[in-house]
Amino acid sequence: MTQVKMFHTVAAILLGAQALTLDIEEEAGVLVLNENNFDEAVKIHEYILVEFYAPWCGACVSFAPEYVKAASRLSDRKSSIKLAKVDATMEERLADKYNVNYLPTLKFFTNSNPTDYDGGMTDREIVDWLRLKSQPNRGEAEELSGPVHILTTAGSLDAFLTTHEKALVAYCSEPNSQLLEIFKQASLNVKDHSFGLVQDASLINSTEFVEDGQIHLHKRIRIGMYDLPRVEYKGGFDVNELQKFIEANSFPTILQLEPKTAQYVFNSEVKTHVLLLVSSLNGEFETLAEPLMNVAQEIRERAGNVMDKSVLFVVVDTDNADHSKLLTILGVQKKLGSLPTIRIIKLGKKGEPIKKYKPAGSLGIYWDPERVKKFVEDYLEGKLESYLISQKLPKDWDANPVKVLTAENFDDIAFDKEKNVLVQFYSPWCGYCHRLEPIYEEVAKVFSRRFDGGVDYIIAKIDATANELENTNITQYPTIKLYKRGTNKVIDFIGKRSVEALVKFVETGGKSLEQANEESREKDEL
């Protein structure tokens, strides 16, 4: 092949590749990917961050402006790093392939190899994270001893801490110490943290905030404003204890509940949460939540860093409309004298009810670190009783065909042995419940129109998000239960939600429409 032909061939290949790139649609500087162009995009671009989102996801909508600003920053810097997005509701196979379990989820691809994004959610945090991920370590050289990095100079220590997101560093000049032995054992077992060792006594002495014979957990990227950048290990010479410390302290001392931290809150092995219900607009993050940092860390250390025995402090911004459902579940109203306040919740296993605890007296709206500490200690020592929430019973609760129940009158009405009582457990924000409402109203009218007024039957409903019952746990909406006359046996309705099916279910004491019709046919045949 002549040089001219070869030149044209290479040029055609390059132009073809460029054309492929240009075929990918962009929105505000962000590549729009789908199943047809995804593999091509991650192959062409050495570094590419991909957001999996849904148009209906509130957290995704809030995050979108930051993502666009990050793309603009990278473009202004002439960076080769690209930002892209995938509508997970339209590209379900892509979402499944990359294990997208919550939204938004971000994946960073380096030469087509994906890793989880665990940086911040502002444009600056995104760009800083990407810059560090896409640049090789420019610090001084370091030696390796198995999985442990041997740090011999201030430069190598600094480079190690700025390059690795979660790093354990042992500052230990004694080569045969027990501390160093458990540190090396942990480095073999813990795969998602980096391990560094400083053995030079003069370097240890010149390093701020550390002493010889200590292990520190350093976190370059912090999760929220209350995450400590450095935590000292204060346990004994036990590798299991050290590993529990690493696991527990990977979480911030105090978490702010927001889209990027929700996964840490609800998926954590820590099931006891201290909820600090405060207003960001009133400056209560700084005046009430921040002073509790030391108390939260002390309680964590007292639990021995054991996750299922520990406590997670969570800041909930009461000015955020997205948290109104949580306030309802807690029975907290946004009115003068109710906020700020504090609650403890204990999450059970799936399907189990949440247990809630509240302080007595003025601690509800006025607190200081010592009083909060005493409240949490009383809980941990089993001195507190959980509480159930209830709405106030309306005066006209029985004025309409569908009776209104609250926790106050539920037992008296539902467990009336003289009647078959049908109860719908609903949620005000449940679309299925809204669609059921006219059907359920008609069922009640069917019985009220009978010659005797349907005195042997009660059709009722209860807002299950605002009323809790001692022996009834509702996990989905709507749930319909029949409390059977004579025995109070509770039977769940699982058939088609039609007027005919519900009426027959009540009349027959809990039989489905199909069962009732079958029995009727058998009688006719006899």
Alpha-carbon distances of 154 from 7, 180, 210, 244, 394, rounded to whole Å: 51, 20, 13, 29, 70
- H/E element, 184: helix 178-189
Q: What is the DSSP letter of 391?
A: P
Helix axes of 293-302 and 369-380: crossing angle, nearest 10 degrees: 30
Per-position DSSP letters for 35-48, written without gaps between them: TTTHHHHHHH-SEE
**CB-CB contact of 151 with 160 (8 Å):** yes
Among 57, 106, 167, 372, the active-site one is 57
Burial label, 18 (beta-carbon count in 10 A; 0-12, 13-18, 19+): exposed
Q: What is the DSSP letter of 267?
A: S
Which residue type is seen at 211?
Answer: E
Among 83, 94, 433, 474, the active-site one is 433
d(CA 170, CA 217): 9
**CB-CB contact of 183 with 193 (8 Å):** no
Among 48, 50, 60, 327, the active-site one is 60
| Coil/strand/helix, residue 516 | helix
172 is catalytic: no
Pairing of strands 402-405, 47-53: unpaired
433 is catalytic: yes
Report phi then psi at 251, rounded to 5: -90, 150
Give the largest Cα separation in the chain, rounded: 103
Query: What are the counts of helices (DSSP H) followed by strands (DSSP E) for the chain?
Result: 18, 22
Closest by CA position to 394, among listed 495, 345, 445, 467: 467
Closest by CA position to 255, among listed 265, 267, 263, 245: 265
Which residue type is seen at 242?
Answer: L
Burial label, 47 (beta-carbon count in 10 A; 0-12, 13-18, 19+): middle
Residues catalogued as catalytic: 57, 60, 430, 433
